[in-house]
């Protein structure tokens, strides 16, 4: 078994897929090649979310994948009602197992962006969407070669998923609500412009 794992690792397969787990925010997450491997950078998004979340509020995680962000928030903030959506049934099944493993209630729903959400309002929306530009060389290097490509890139300018989330958010957010997004290292100016154009105030960028 070690020999087989060694061979797969030599071929570049990420450790997280070989062992089937990855630690995120101090919690153990089951991962499969159906989802992005949770990254330490994204822990900043969780910290900022927890800091800003009012008591007893409703949070939506868009494109939850393994459920890492949603489960970490639900685990740290037992007062929060956490919902999470994803387009992938395999991701939803995995997120359900990760929520169950940590015994936190996360409401999971299959949805293409906001499509399946009707009449729901949130105090906060969080997302780590696919933001890598089509054709970026990182997509064909290292761990990324083994991760689900639709979780990494929008196959366009890298901003299209961010645009959809930002432009749709106001319909689902309370007026004092927060939208917290992870984006690429070179996208801060563009993302702030999108947020300002969508009438968001108190727009901030945080390098992770």
Q: Which residues contribute to the site for ligand GLN (CB under 6 A)?
A: 39, 128-132, 144, 152, 182
Q: Where are the beta strands (DSSP E) in the chain?
A: 21-24, 27-30, 58-62, 81-86, 106-110, 122-127, 173-181
Give the residue with the Cβ less far from ligand GLN, 148 or 168: 148
| Smallest separation, CB 41 to ligand GLN (Å) | 6
Would you say 174 and 206 are in contact if contact means Cβ atoms under 8 Å apart? no
Helix, strand, coil content of the chain in percent (nearest 5) = 40, 20, 40
3-state secondary structure of 132: strand
3-state secondary structure of 122: strand
Give the residue with the Cβ less far from ligand GLN, 40 or 105: 40
Give the residue with the Cβ less far from ligand GLN, 144 or 179: 144
Contacts of 3 (CB under 8 A, 6+ apart): none
What residue number has its CB nearest to ligand GLN? 152
Give the residue with the Cβ less far from ligand GLN, 57 or 128: 128
| Smallest separation, CB 151 to ligand GLN (Å) | 6
| Smallest separation, CB 140 to ligand GLN (Å) | 12
| Smallest separation, CB 182 to ligand GLN (Å) | 6
């Amino acid at each position: 078994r070690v020999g087989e794992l060694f061979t797969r690792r030599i071929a570049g397969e990420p450790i997280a897929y070989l062992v089937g787990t990855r630690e995120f925010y101090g919690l153990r997450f089951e991962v499969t090649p159906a989802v992005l491997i949770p990254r330490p950078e994204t822990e900043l998004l969780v910290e900022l979310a927890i800091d800003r979340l009012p008591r007893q509020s409703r949070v939506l995680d868009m494109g939850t994948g393994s459920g890492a962000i949603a489960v970490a928030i639900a685990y740290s903030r037992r007062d929060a009602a956490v919902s999470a959506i994803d387009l992938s049934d395999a991701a939803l099944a995995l997120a359900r197992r990760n929520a169950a493993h940590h015994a936190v209630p996360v409401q999971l729903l299959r949805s293409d962006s906001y499509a399946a959400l009707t009449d729901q309002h949130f105090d906060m929306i969080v997302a780590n969407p696919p933001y890598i530009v089509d054709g970026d060389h990182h997509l064909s290097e290292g761990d990324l070669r083994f991760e689900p490509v639709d979780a990494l890139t929008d196959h366009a300018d890298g901003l299209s998923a961010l645009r959809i989330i930002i432009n749709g958010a106001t319909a689902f957010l309370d007026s004092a609500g927060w939208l917290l997004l992870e984006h690429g290292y070179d996208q801060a100016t563009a993302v702030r412009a999108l947020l300002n154009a969508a009438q968001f105030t108190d727009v901030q960028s945080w390098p992770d």
